[in-house]
Amino acid sequence: MKNCKIYSLVIILIVSIQNSSAQEIQLLKTTHFPHYPSASTISIHNGLIYIIGDDAPYMLIVDTDHKILDSTRLFSSTAKRIDKDEKADIESSFLSTKKNKTYLVALSSFSTNKRNKYAVFDLTGKSKRPKIKTKSNFSIHGIDDANIEGATLMNKHLIMSNRANLTNKINHLLITNFNLKHGIRYKKIRTIPVSLSQELGVTGISGLTYLEKTDILLFSASTEKTLNSYDDGEIGESYIGIIANASTKMEGKNIKVDKFINLSNFLGNKWLQKIESIAVESETEEYMIIHLAADNDNGESTLFKMQLKK
């Protein structure tokens, strides 16, 4: 009888944990894009999602139900995927406003001399042609292997994330200034390490987005067995991280993550997904609707729409 009671309690506990997790995050929609390669960054503005693949010659534009609406050419290549040695490696993007106009700014990873560009799109103008600019040098004190994979504006500052790998095992947030005319202020970048458990393996931050109203910094992260910022590696688990009171924590010497959620049980796929970017569609006091982009290094892309509890 005693064993039966213990067994019943165990079942109740397991069900409670499952229900709690189900309430924390819920998958709403999955959309596969076999024709569009390597989705590495997404941004949302006025109900439109702007998707850029790190080796794609054009940007894809979809609505929040992932229906394809338009596209914009970035580079002259006519290949489906730009060669690894030649690609600009666009890995992050963020929105910037000036004189009632909204601009999408997309950044290269700055991991090699050819991956040194940033593109500026006027989202409120009629012109579809982006301005592509080149930065000749990207050297940051304390960063041995540059690999910028996330970017977002927080108040007046640009926050970028430098992704960890098996050789350089610490993720860093890079804090500096940005303006549309002069770009990133490279000479005055402050770096802050982000504490992620090494028990999970080396997990690299792959995307950033900031919610000003609630002062939350969201990030996507994934494990990938690679020794450097250039080569791809075996795909592992993917995560969402939540940093509360983010603007205050940017003043510190080290950032601890408030919530770190493994996505494997929620993505509804039997294959592991390398989540590369995160963007917020809307938010309430309790929940936010988010979109995640996955690039599994196979020349295809997947978007996930989810409800996430704050």
Q: What is the 3-state secondary structure (H, E, C) of 74-109?
A: CCCCCCCCCCCCCCCCEEEEEEEEECCEEEEEEEEC
Pairing between strand 259-262 and 287-294? Answer: unpaired
Q: What's 4's DSSP letter? A: H
Least confident range from 5-19, 148-162, 263-277: namely 5-19
pLDDT value at position 144? 84
Residue 84, token pair as written in the block? 């690894």
pTM: 0.89
Give residue-wise pLDDT tens across range 234-283: 778 999 999 999 999 999 999 999 999 999 889 987 778 899 999 999 99
Q: Which residues of 64-95 are buried (b: 16+ CB within 10 A; e: fewer)?
A: bebeeeebbebbebeeeebeeeebbbbbbbbb
For the segment 38-60, what is each residue's pLDDT rounded down to a tens digit?
A: 999 999 999 999 999 999 999 99
pLDDT averaged over every residue in the chain: 87
Residue 129 pLDDT level (bands cut at 50, 70, 90):
confident
Measured distance CA(128)–CA(71) in Å, rounded:
9
**Looking at the predicted structure, is the pLDDT value of residue 7 above 80?**
no
Q: What percent of the chain shows pLDDT beyond 90?
A: 65
pLDDT for 125 beyond 90: no
Confidence of residue 23 (pLDDT cuts 50, 70, 90): low
pLDDT at res. 40 = 97
- Say which DSSP state 42 is in: E
Amino acid at 190: R
- The whole-number average pLDDT for the span 65-70 is 97
Of residues 16 and 262, more confidently modeled: 262
Instruction: For residue 20, name the pLDDT band (cuts at 50, 70, 90).
Output: very low
Strands 255-256 vs 190-195: parallel, antiparallel or unpaired: parallel
pLDDT score recorded for residue 253: 92
> How many residues can be counted in the chain?
310
Q: Is residue 15 over pLDDT 80?
A: no
Domain segments of the chain as ranges: 26-309
Q: What is the mean pLDDT of residues 121-150?
A: 81
When the candidates are 3.30.70, 2.40.160, 3.40.50, 2.115.10, the CATH number that belongs to 26-309 is 2.115.10
Strands, sheet with 234-243, edge to edge from the N-terminal-most edge strand: 203-211, 216-225, 234-243, 259-262
pLDDT digits (tens, 9 = 90+) for 202-211: 899 999 999 9
What does 273-303 look like in DSSP terms, one character per residue? --EEEEEEEEE-SSEEEEEEEE--SSS-EEE
In the predicted model, is pLDDT for residue 198 greater than 80? no
The predicted pLDDT at position 228 comes to 64
Question: Is residue 88 pLDDT above 50, yes or no?
Answer: yes
- Among the listed residues 29, 25, 39, 30, the one whose alpha carbon sits nearest the alpha carbon of residue 274: 39
